Amino acid sequence: NRDTMSRKGVQQLNKIVIQYCKWGGSSKGVRDLINNGLEDLKSINPSLTVEVVQRSNKHPNVRGEYVTGIVKTISARNEDAEGVQKLVDSLKSQWGTKAKNWNKHRRITDQLCTQGPWSPFVDLKNVEVVREN
Amino acid sequence: LSVKNLLVCVATHSSFSSMLSRTLGAVSSSLPSRATTHSSCRIFSSCPSSSSSSLFLSRYASTTPAKPLSSVLTVPTYSPPSDTPSTDINSSSSDTNPELIRKYGPIVPQSFAVVHVGGKQYKVSKGDVITTEKLPVEVGDNIILDKVLLVGSKEFTAIGTPILTAAKVSATIEEQTRMQKAIIFKRKRRKNTQRTQGHRQYVTVMRITDIFMNYA
């Protein structure tokens, strides 16, 4: 089920751009990935476009462009091919938002109380026990 | 705010609860089997809906405390549907996998559940987004949450002691990220020592799709 990287069914990541240098030592892992494993990357998720850009004399980058318009860049400096793959996976599994403090809202909901709000007149004593195992 | 709305509310309550009582009555007459060591549950057929409607009355009629409904309302002219199959009440969106319904039981409509995930408990209903500790799943997976402690709807509350084995909650994984950076700052006063550390916790964000419960 790796095709969906989604929020309510909408795919969040549009495009991945891998920038590398042809001769720099920090780009070695990225170069290995491009030469050997790029087709695997592309085939896992066909709706995702993977671009490769050469930038000489610069350290390598992995950049993810999201549906929301946000661009997240992670440096792939001195990483193995596996490490670059992990960076791509981490971009895929994120939404296009800033990193939140999820501790503040661990549950986001639209539903208000199903059983009705409490009031001093709510009768909690006359409750029928229908079944007890 | 007319009395018509109230009557509809009462009718749906009665039809669902009659269906419930029929199924449970059938079970209670048969063998008391299926009691495993861990599962036992107490199902309460509840007043909350009636009390909320009596709240409704009391707000507009008078400020006296709630009386039972029969003393306030006359006999309603609406006749509840007889022996309708449960598909009308239990039908939710078409995204629900019919295999899940066959496996885990019918969907409980308009309900909430208390679920134990990652060392914490969450009160959960359909369409919620909850954040748990990192789980070994991938984005896009559909998972079933097993440790359900309580299921409540308008008509009943099922309390597990401690777990309801007949209830399941299904969810889809939406995100596997790290939270915002938390800076841990320690300082020893008057000793000229201080230390800064950053921390980003791994986290799984999931959206709840359905709450299933095997009534029978």
CB-based contact, A57 to chain B, within 8 Å: no
Set of chain B residues whose Cβ sits within 8 Å of the Cβ of A48:
none
pLDDT at A122: 82
Q: Is the pLDDT of residue A111 over 90?
A: no
pLDDT at B216: 60
Q: Is the pLDDT of residue B123 over 90?
A: yes
Residue A46 has φ and ψ, to the nearest 5°, of -70, -20
Question: What percent of chain A lies above the pLDDT cut of 90?
Answer: 41
CB-based contact, A39 to chain B, within 8 Å: no
Residue of A nearest to B128 (CA): A109
Strands A13-20 and A49-54: parallel
CB-based contact, B119 to chain A, within 8 Å: no
SS3 content of chain A, % helix, strand, coil (to 5): 25, 25, 50
Set of chain B residues whose Cβ sits within 8 Å of the Cβ of A90:
176-177
CB-based contact, B164 to chain A, within 8 Å: no
> Residue A102 in contact with residue B200, Cβ under 8 Å?
no
Query: What spatial distance separates the first Cα and last Cα of chain A, rounded to whole Å?
Result: 39
Set of chain A residues whose Cβ sits within 8 Å of the Cβ of B180:
98-101
Query: Tell me, what's the ipTM?
Result: 0.84
Q: Is the pLDDT of residue A1 over 60?
A: no
Judge if pTM exceeds 0.80.
no
Average pLDDT over residues A51-56: 92
> Residue A69 in contact with residue A86, Cβ under 8 Å?
no
pLDDT at B44: 62
Q: Is the pLDDT of residue B1 over 90?
A: no
Of the ranges B68-77, B89-98, B184-193, which is most confident?
Answer: B184-193
Q: CA B52, B88, B72: angle at the middle one, nearest 5? A: 25
